[in-house]
């Protein structure tokens, strides 16, 4: 008789992965770089970014500031960046009050919650509790470290939801995003990576940042964006994905997740730790929750061992760390800011 779990387990076990690093642990530096370059090109295509480059070849994004507010310890601005002609992407820009040229930049993509939580805005008691218990005000944490911060809206959330989802108070429009993306050769993750890269372009062009010190960190879906953005965009110098890094098979392929997590054919390229290996030699701090039910810690540790082997092969084992928070699916700031500060200082 047909048994679905056995079928899918067999399916995963028998899929060849073109860029799996398991048989490449003793590569010379040149060959390691070739592996990364070829893999990054293939991942770029799989995410749908090649199609976006063609579709938007003649388009130049532009930005508008809509408001600015002085808070107790930083300035919060609200902007739109037209990442496509029909997509004004909202984002908050947080500035330290002590303004200086050449500030490091931290980008904080959010997960499956509201964009305003990351800048500390709570619109009810439930959101206030969510920020407090899960350390969700990640952008505020970053600006208090003295960094310039972009807290973007994740495509399919906030103002970029469909009208019907806004009217029904649904947090996101990820399924709709997925359906339309697939029809034109895109993916939700790829679209969100595109948005992060356009924000980096804008910041480098207009904000006088130190472009050698760009970090990205976010929780859950924000961790998804962080990992894949850093794998694709090498301008991201430090990556801190929280409560996402695991294996595709043992999390995304086994436990029910939002539709936006699925990448057609990703396992034919490699596992999540192989994708994360594209970040080397740049530093990565993997944050995980000991009791996270959707990214099980045993598989996080298994995947991290594989990632460590890639960093060891790159000669930078000290730039790869795992921080395990003693709780569930939330952000753990102790795994982020000291790590980012240390590696920003090393970049001087």
| CA–CA gap between residue 217 and residue 227 (Å, rounded) | 9
Side-chain half-sphere CA neighbours of 126 within 13 A: 2
Split at pLDDT 50, 70, 90, the class of 188 is: very high
| CA–CA gap between residue 208 and residue 205 (Å, rounded) | 7
Q: Which of 31-35, 83-87, 217-221, 257-261 is predicted least confidently?
A: 31-35
Split at pLDDT 50, 70, 90, the class of 22 is: confident
Q: Which of 22-26, 38-42, 65-69, 299-303 is predicted least confidently?
A: 22-26
Q: Which of 24-28, 308-312, 331-335 is predicted least confidently?
A: 24-28
The per-residue pLDDT for 28 is: 72
Contacts of residue 5, Cβ cutoff 8 Å, sequence gap at least 6? none
- Among candidates 138, 111, 136, 104, which has minimal Cα distance to 340? 104
The mean predicted confidence, pLDDT, of the chain is 95
Q: Where are the alpha helices (DSSP H) in the chain?
A: 4-13, 29-46, 49-55, 125-134, 138-143, 163-167, 174-183, 188-206, 221-232, 272-276, 297-313, 337-346
Candidate CATH numbers 3.20.20.70, 3.40.50.1820, 3.40.800.20, 3.60.15.10; the one for domain 14-346: 3.40.50.1820
Contacts of residue 49, Cβ cutoff 8 Å, sequence gap at least 6? 190, 193, 194, 232
Q: Report the pLDDT averaged over residues 123-147.
A: 94
The residues spanned by each domain of the chain are: 14-346
Split at pLDDT 50, 70, 90, the class of 30 is: confident
| CA–CA gap between residue 81 and residue 26 (Å, rounded) | 44
Split at pLDDT 50, 70, 90, the class of 26 is: low
The per-residue pLDDT for 101 is: 81
């Amino acid at each position: 008789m047909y048994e679905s779990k056995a079928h899918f387990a067999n399916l995963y076990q028998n899929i060849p992965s073109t860029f799996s690093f398991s048989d490449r642990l003793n590569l010379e530096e040149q060959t390691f770089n070739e592996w990364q370059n070829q893999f990054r090109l293939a991942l770029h295509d799989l995410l749908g970014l090649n199609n976006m480059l063609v579709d938007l070849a003649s388009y130049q994004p532009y930005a508008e500031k809509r408001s600015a507010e002085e808070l107790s310890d930083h300035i919060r601005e609200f902007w739109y960046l037209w990442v496509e002609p029909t997509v004004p992407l909202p984002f908050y820009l947080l500035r330290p009050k002590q303004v200086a040229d050449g500030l490091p930049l931290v980008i904080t993509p959010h997960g499956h919650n509201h964009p305003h939580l990351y800048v500390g805005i709570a619109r009810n008691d439930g959101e206030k509790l969510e920020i407090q218990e899960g350390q969700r005000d990640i952008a505020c944490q970053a600006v208090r470290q003295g960094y310039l911060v972009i807290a973007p809206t994740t495509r399919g959330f906030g103002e970029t939801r469909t009208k019907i989802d806004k009217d029904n108070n649904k947090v996101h429009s990820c399924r709709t995003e997925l359906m339309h993306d697939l029809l034109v050769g895109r993916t939700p993750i790829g679209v969100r990576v595109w948005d992060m890269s356009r924000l980096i372009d804008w910041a480098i062009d207009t904000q006088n940042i130190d472009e050698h010190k760009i970090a990205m960190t976010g929780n859950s879906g924000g961790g998804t964006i962080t990992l894949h953005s850093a794998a694709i965009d090498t301008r991201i110098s430090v990556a801190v994905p929280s409560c996402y890094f695991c294996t595709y098979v043992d999390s995304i392929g086994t436990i029910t997740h939002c539709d936006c997590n699925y990448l057609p054919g990703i396992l034919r390229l490699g596992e999540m730790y192989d994708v994360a290996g594209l970040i080397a030699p740049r530093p990565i701090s993997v944050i995980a929750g000991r009791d996270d039910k959707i990214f099980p810690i045993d598989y996080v540790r298994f995947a991290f061992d594989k990632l460590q082997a890639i960093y060891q092969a790159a000669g930078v084992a000290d730039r790869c760390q795992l921080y395990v928070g003693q709780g569930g699916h939330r952000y753990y700031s102790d795994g982020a800011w000291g790590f980012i500060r240390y590696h920003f200082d090393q970049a001087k």
